[in-house]
Amino acid sequence: HSDVDLYRGEEEIQKELQDKLFLPELEVSFFPSAAVGEAQRSVSAAEDLQTYSEREWKGNTTKSLLIRKGYEAIASEFNLRRVRGDNYCALRATLFQVLSQSKQLPAWLHDSDISKWPKEIQSDQDSIKEWQFPFETSKSKVQHLEQCLELLKKRWQETVQCKSLEERERMCLQVFRGHDEEYELLEALKFLMLRTAIHLHSDMEKGSDVPEFCWLLFARDSSKCPKTFLTNHLRHVGFSGGLEQVEMCLLGYSLQQTMRVVRLYKCDTEEFITYYPNDHKKDWPPLCLLTEDDRHYNVLIPKKSFKFDEDFVHPPDRRKSYTPRMA
């Protein structure tokens, strides 16, 4: 199995972004006249699942047969977009689905001046000083996070306002090029996760009802509170590690989106289809992702409009409202 062209390590990301520091800052149109080349994309063009499976999972090992069976189960309903695997992949796949699929802004984004949130958290928690960005910046960390959040709101608004699928496709391709803007949007998602973790932990301390995943998130010795969650986990996402399953729940909760993930290596088990988080399946928009190993995530694109739970019936008893287990 090989996806070498899409997998990059922390050093390669740093080098690419550092190289740009020596270039003059340019005003780049969001609709450039030249098409974005395939090699530049951090999310590939859509391709047939069955073809991809047969190309990447040759042989008759137990794992190859299982993964191919999983692909075959969904190949009639979905196409695949491969996502660059640089430890941001879960965030990147989620962001792509948000920008390419959202029909409207979530209430928290429509009604709030989110650019004020970093300063508020820094005043209350004094934790923003630990933030690390994958690029150099002359701004303070609070100011740069404000910029990241403003950019997220702007891009989300622009894609929702697109008049056609073709226009939205062009806009998404301009975002997912591996440039600074893309990483700013991914860091914005990480900030939203921190803010949500702070609010949920506060609710837990007050004895208020919280989603079940919160008890798992803060039961870990390495993340007993939001500050240690940031220090030991979140600040390393994109650099030396990706998101764990319980953190996928936090991401979905932060965005008010339900991630429906096809986990290919769980084919023939009740965890083949899982939900992050599992308590808003009816009222939050769905984002469809795919993973072969709970480490790298790709994007699933429906071939036609259908209701995932009603029409995706292979196998009929494989849908599970998933709560991640502690290791």
The catalytic site residues sit at: 86, 89, 296
> Taking a C-beta distance cutoff of 8 angstroms, is the pair 69, 218 a contact?
no
Q: Are strands 286-291 and 258-263 parallel, antiparallel or unpaired?
A: parallel
Q: How far apart are CA 50 and CA 33, in angstroms?
A: 34
- Given the structure tokens 């989300």, which residue do they identify? 156
Q: Which residues pair with 300 in a beta bridge?
A: 80
Q: Kindly report the number of other CB atoms within 10 A of residue 237's CB atom.
A: 22
Nearest by Cα to 197 from 222, 228, 221: 228
CB 162 within 8 A of CB 120: no
Contacts of 211 (CB under 8 A, 6+ apart): 200, 249, 253, 277, 279
Residue 47 CB-half CA count within 13 A: 16
CB–CB of 65/58 below 8 Å? no
Rounded CA-CA distance 320/254 in Å is: 21
Among 268, 146, 265, 137, smallest CA distance to 195 is for: 146
Report the length, in residues, of the chain: 327
